[in-house]
């Protein structure tokens, strides 16, 4: 029996969603037809698409016209970041340094290829955005001596550590510091949030937070991989990089996947409905993990106890331990988890999130993310805690060998 503790990467498709997808593909309703077609099958599927969009909007408490379907959270992030850079030539993107690469890399590409400005915010030791740095970044251009801001992007919950931002307070701070509280006012600064790691884990409130754009994906919630959405205020200008049939308000052209849209709507409805119940249940399991590893020497919780966090993620860092060896040992013991840091060309890199939180490179390389889901049981947690001491011992031996070799070369 394997224990899956990598729900922050992706979660199993929910049985209800799997049944609906199978029925849509095989029932003869024509779920595979083009919803833009004018024939009977096309009109039928177009109605199903409109229904799915309305259901998704209802679960998110937004207007159906504000919901743009995408292939996932990464595309949604890239569409709004690069789209705002194109819509406001010479404008400046303001992002936190702990964003998902979908935001950070898109912003850096916009700076390199489109001439956009880029400002990185400051975060504290828990990864929370420093309000003073936000105020400086969005101050009116004439006062701050820099270009106008085309977009602020701060993720609602971090995909690695699970820290949760106070989005309502951050947006309010943007409005106050920029001097423009309404979209029709000159100098108004739009705010986007990547809510992929937050939706279904904490209450998400697009309009209550005062957002202008928000990204989400389905495969973290029990929908198949390959579908997500960008919630976008009706009048926010976003210029797409490509042309096409002008679907999704002309921002994301291409034949819509109606079966996937219906799967996303159902998964989001279920996740939102169960959010409080699952949060309470997973908080107990997370606490058990942290208490269990607290007895091991040199093992630390990444987040301080007073930091708001999603209940589904327990993020740890280790003194003098090789993260790859740790993950391999856990894998051999039947535990699926992740380091939570980027991996490029098979070489583990220090977590950019922890580096931004002012961790040294060693701890930023030696991390473990245990992310829980609706399928996670107390037995899964106990199997992790049973396997971890031996896995950690092996990881520390590997670390000593690596560092002894490095010292020898010097």
pLDDT tens for residues 75-128? 999 999 999 999 999 999 999 999 999 999 999 999 999 999 999 999 999 999
Among 52-56, 59-63, 342-346, which stretch is predicted with the lowest mean pLDDT? 342-346
What pLDDT is stored for residue 343 in this prediction? Answer: 47
pLDDT band at 51 (very low <50, low <70, confident <90, very high): very high
Residues 6+ apart with CB under 8 A from 345: none
Task: Tell whether the model's pLDDT for residue 29 goes beyond 70.
Answer: no
Give mean pLDDT, residues 397-407: 77
pLDDT tens for residues 327-385? 999 999 999 999 975 444 355 689 999 999 999 999 999 999 999 999 999 999 999 99
201 or 403, greater pLDDT: 201
pLDDT tens for residues 256-302? 999 999 999 999 999 999 999 999 999 999 999 999 998 899 999 99
Give mean pLDDT, residues 62-77: 97
Q: Do 338 and 369 form a contact (C-beta atoms < 8 A)?
A: yes
Handedness of CA 290, 293, 295, 301 (dihedral sign): negative
pLDDT band at 241 (very low <50, low <70, confident <90, very high): confident
Task: Give whole-number Cα distances, 255 to 33, 247, 260, in Å.
Answer: 10, 7, 12
Active site residues: 343
What pLDDT is stored for residue 344 in this prediction? Answer: 44
pTM above threshold 0.85 = yes
Give mean pLDDT, residues 231-243: 93
pLDDT tens for residues 128-179? 999 999 999 999 865 656 789 999 999 999 999 999 999 999 999 999 999 9
Q: In what order do the strands lie in the sheet with 149-153?
A: 67-70, 228-232, 213-217, 191-194, 149-153, 92-95, 117-120
Task: Tell whether the model's pLDDT for residue 406 goes beyond 70.
Answer: no
Give mean pLDDT, residues 209-237: 97
Closest CA to 228 of 102, 48, 86: 102
- Helical axes 131-138 vs 167-178, angle rounded to 10°: 40
Task: Tell whether the model's pLDDT for residue 408 goes beyond 60.
Answer: no
């Amino acid at each position: 029996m394997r224990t899956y503790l990598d729900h922050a990467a992706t979660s199993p498709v929910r049985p209800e969603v799997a049944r609906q997808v199978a029925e849509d593909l095989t029932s003869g309703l024509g779920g595979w037809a083009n919803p833009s077609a004018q024939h009977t099958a096309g009109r039928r599927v177009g109605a199903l698409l409109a229904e799915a969009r309305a259901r998704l909007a209802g679960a998110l408490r937004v207007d159906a016209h504000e919901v743009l379907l995408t292939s996932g959270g990464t595309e949604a992030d890239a569409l709004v970041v690069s789209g705002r850079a194109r819509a406001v030539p010479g404008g400046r993107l303001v992002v936190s340094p702990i964003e998902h690469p979908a935001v950070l890399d898109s912003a850096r590409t916009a700076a390199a290829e489109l001439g956009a400005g880029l400002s990185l915010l400051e975060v504290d030791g828990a990864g929370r955005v420093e309000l003073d740095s936000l105020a400086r970044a969005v101050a009116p251009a004439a006062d701050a001596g820099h270009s106008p801001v085309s977009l602020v992007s701060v993720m609602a919950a971090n995909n690695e550590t699970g820290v949760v931002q106070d989005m309502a307070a951050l947006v309010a701070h943007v409005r106050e510091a920029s001097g423009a509280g309404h979209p029709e006012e000159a100098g108004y600064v739009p705010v986007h949030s990547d809510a992929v790691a937050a939706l279904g884990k904490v209450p998400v409130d697009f309009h209550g937070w005062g957002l202008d754009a928000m990204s989400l994906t389905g495969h973290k919630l029990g929908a198949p991989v390959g579908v997500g959405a960008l919630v976008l205020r009706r009048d926010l200008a976003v210029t797409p990089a490509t042309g096409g049939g002008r679907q999704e308000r002309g921002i994301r052209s291409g034949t819509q996947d109606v079966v996937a849209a219906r799967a996303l709507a159902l998964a989001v409805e279920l996740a939102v409905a169960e959010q409080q119940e699952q949060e309470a249940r997973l908080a107990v399991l997370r606490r058990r993990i942290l208490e269990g590893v607290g007895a091991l020497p040199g093992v630390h919780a990444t987040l301080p106890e007073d930091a708001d966090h999603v209940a589904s993620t327990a993020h740890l860092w280790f003194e003098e331990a090789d993260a790859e060896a740790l993950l391999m040992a856990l894998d051999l013991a039947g535990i699926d988890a992740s380091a939570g840091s980027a991996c490029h060309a098979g070489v583990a890199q220090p977590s950019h999130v922890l580096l931004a939180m002012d961790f040294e490179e060693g701890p930023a390389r030696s991390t473990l993310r245990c992310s829980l889901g609706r399928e996670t049981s107390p037995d899964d947690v106990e199997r992790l805690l049973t396997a971890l001491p031996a896995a950690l011992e092996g990881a520390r031996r590997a670390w000593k060998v690596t560092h002894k070799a490095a010292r020898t070369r010097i």
